[in-house]
Amino acid sequence: MAYKVFLGVGHGGTDTGAAADGYREKDMTLVMALACQQELARHGVLVKLSRTTDENDPVNEEVRECNAYAPDLALDIHVNAGGGDGFEAYYTIGGGKGKSLAQAIEQEVKALGQNSRGCKTRAGSSGRDYYAFIRDTACPAVIAEIGFIDNAKDRAAFDTAQEQQAFGRAYARGILATLGIAAQPETPIASEDAEAMIAAQTIKKKAGLEDQTIRYLLNYQYGETLVKKLAKAME
């Protein structure tokens, strides 16, 4: 049977999450989550997202959906604030596979050049896990904070859609490693039509599309013609 993963997409709708200089956490988390989902699906992993559009997504609803889905692992995707610097992840005070997942994701994030504040636990006054996404989910769960949105220097590592997608794929590779699935290299974008290749790079940059999406377009029966028309329309 295929592995199942639940992705919590931090904030959404009327809750923007952290915000600074026109950037909003809810937008960044969705881009990362969609890229993470796509990469996991490429490896045969079944994925459920807590949201796929800009809608209200309270943590209690995330937990309910996660437990109903009964995944093998869960990841809640967030962006930090408070003037700090770097990635950090939280896992249950019980350790186990949640700790392994946090460390695997941290390794992939650091490989992209982002520094890390470490993998951590946080207990509430009762001695149980402080965060509901970790405390109340039935499966091993981790909260990942890619960096600090209100630190311009730190934010420079993830302030574009392409960078956010790269980190989403890094999260996926950490999940794959925890599940014991070898990450497969991505197939390069290729076409014998030079004009189509130039057009593909144009729409990728202007529309913020991922390589895999461009490959799908080029592999379509009339994909090269479509890509050239789309690029012309964007001029």
Structure tokens at 229: 């028309």
- Name the residue type at position 99: K
Angle at 142 between CA 141 and CA 146, to 5 degrees: 155
- Name the residue type at position 19: A
Q: At what angle do helices 96-111 and 161-179 cross, to 10 degrees?
A: 140
Active site residue 145: yes
Tokens 């019980």, residue located: 94
Non-local (6+) Cβ contacts of 131 within 8 A are 90, 122, 143
Q: Find the catalytic residue in 145, 163, 210, 224.
A: 145
Task: Give the residue numbers marked as catalytic.
Answer: 145
